Copies of this chain bind each other. A is one copy, B any other.
């Protein structure tokens, strides 16, 4: 997606050789038109797979998951990072360590909204070492549902997550794959990313 890559280059802030901040359009402020295009692109790439639900993790996955679910004509669910008072029992839970935030969160979804009839598209904003995706896959597997694929907006190609998921035979579609953030320079992989 050329528009996404352009945004990353123009508005992304490289904080280190492994961290890029895209708060201007994805992680804090949202560009709603870009979110819509992202949703349409994911729907195009996964539309033949019989998806029944889009699963993401709060908070940054919610807007693109909403748009993808809207395009696919299915519900979205966002896993929560901790339990709320109105959502105590009846949960599938897993643990996700975030290296960026240096914390481990318990993530959970209600058993009400995923069953073994579901075929689930997992969606997240970033894929780095794959911890969040692994946690989401764990939730889906606990429910008995199947994984249709993993939809990623920005993949850090220089980290292991994408390779590990693809080796497991999971269809991973990343709209932009960063090959490097060294020297504060944003470089994209040119293979494997259709525009």
Contacts and interface: CB of A to CB of B under 8 A. Distances in A.
A76 interface: yes
A29 B113 contact: yes
Contacts of A97: none
Question: Interface residues of A toward B: which range?
Answer: 35 or more
B85 A28 contact: no
B113 A77 contact: no
Interface stretch (A1-9, A61-69, A166-174): A61-69
A155 to B, nearest CB: 18
A194 interface: no
A134 interface: no
A78 B28 contact: yes
Interface in A101-155: 101-102, 109-110, 112-113
A86 interface: yes
Tell me whether chain A's interface is mostly helix, strand or loop, or mixed: mixed
A80 B84 CA distance: 17
A66 B69 contact: no
A28 B109 contact: yes
Interface string A4-23: 00000000000100010101
B66 A32 contact: yes
7 contacts: A28-B77, A29-B113, A30-B65, A30-B75, A31-B75, A32-B69, A59-B78
Given A29-B75, A31-B75, A62-B62, 10 more contacts: A23-B113, A28-B77, A28-B87, A29-B110, A29-B112, A32-B70, A35-B66, A59-B62, A59-B78, A66-B67
Interface of A: 15, 19, 21, 23-25, 27-33, 35-36, 58-59, 62-63, 65-67, 69-70, 74-78, 80, 84-87, 100-102, 109-110, 112-113
